[in-house]
Chain A
Amino acid sequence: MEDRELIEKIIQGQEDLFSIIIDKYKNKVFSIIYSFCGQTSDCEDIAQNVFIKIFKALPKFKFESEFSTWMYRIVINETITISKKKKHNVVPLDINNSEDEEKSNLIDFLKSNDNTERELMQKETQKMVQEALGKLKDNYKMVLTLRDIEDYSYEEIAKMMDASVENVKIWIFRARNRLKEILTEGGNLK
């Protein structure tokens, strides 16, 4: 059954069919929330609340866009809102106080043109990059989450964030440069 048909039936009262929508989108929705909010234990609670919000908002869906586009806008808005309330920026970034050796290793790693997959997945590197990501403005953090972690295209991100593709390109460009500054100079710039 197509999304449109499902949504019409749910709005008409067949609420149990919403479980099909949840099953279809839950992994992608949870993945966005988990990547954006960081590795916190209550990401699943946030995902539950987001789906409840979507369910409650269904009567407002006008069938003028794809259901998934409309749904992801709610996911993104809710994720940012809840994240702000819960101050989810994982552990406060403290790259300035990181051991000199760690900082030096990170910069060497970032400058190297032949890093192995194992090095990319190294726990300490992951932690420092994730912490730096947590210091970005919400819209920058969200575009990088969607592009680099979740692998959505520029067009998909533009639809999800209700923005133009050109704006998404600019946000990604600025977000990456800011992230580089934080990682290489300890986040003291700007």
Chain B
Amino acid sequence: MNCNKAQELISQYIDNELSAQSVSELLKHFEECDKCRQDYIMLKNIKAVLSKAPKKELSSDFTASVMNKIKSENIEKDDNVVMFGSFFNSFKKKLVMAAGFLFIVASSSFFFMHGNNVTQQNQDNYASTGIEYYFGYNNYYDRDIDIDNDDYEEYISMFC
């Protein structure tokens, strides 16, 4: 047996996991090789120290503490307030989105209904979009907006 093989087997020898034949060969090697024998003694001592490592007892209320934590976490999971709150927040968002959509539809309808009444006389003064007209952004009336007539006709034709 060479030293490499012996080194591989030392660990298993310490754990009593070697076959009788391997033990015999390893012990024979130790008689011939002082370094491998020293390594075996050191590893055996390290294992012995670890096996005597101090232990600690669990506190007597450990099980109860874990069970309490589990129960309290379940309460949070099923907490109706949180659940309802989440639902309500989500519902509010949907409500705002629906209101916004309805508002756009209503304003567009208003423009359809009144867009044809826009006189040529006011064309140059009206704002460039129906929405601005609907909201009565009067400042636009006073602005000197240079709207090309063809552009205006094209814009109106989109709705009429």
Contacts and interface: CB of A to CB of B under 8 A. Distances in A.
Nearest to B11: A173
B17 interface: yes
A67 interface: no
Contacts of B8: 173
Nearest to B43: A176
Interface of A: prevailing SS: helix
A120 B52 contact: yes
Contacts of A149: 50-51, 53
Interface stretch (A26-34, A71-79, A92-100): A26-34
A187 B55 CA distance: 26
Interface residues of B, number: 38
Contacts of B56: 30, 34, 39, 43
B28 interface: no
Chain B's interface: helix, strand, loop or mixed, by majority?
helix
Contacts, number: 112
B17 A154 contact: yes
A48 B15 contact: no
14 contacts: A18-B70, A26-B62, A30-B62, A34-B56, A52-B66, A52-B73, A111-B38, A112-B41, A113-B41, A130-B53, A133-B50, A154-B15, A173-B10, A183-B46
Interface of A: 15-16, 18-19, 22-23, 26-27, 30-31, 34-35, 39, 43-44, 47-48, 51-52, 55, 109-113, 115, 117, 120-121, 125-126, 129-130, 133, 144, 147-149, 151, 154, 169, 172-173, 176-177, 179-180, 183-184
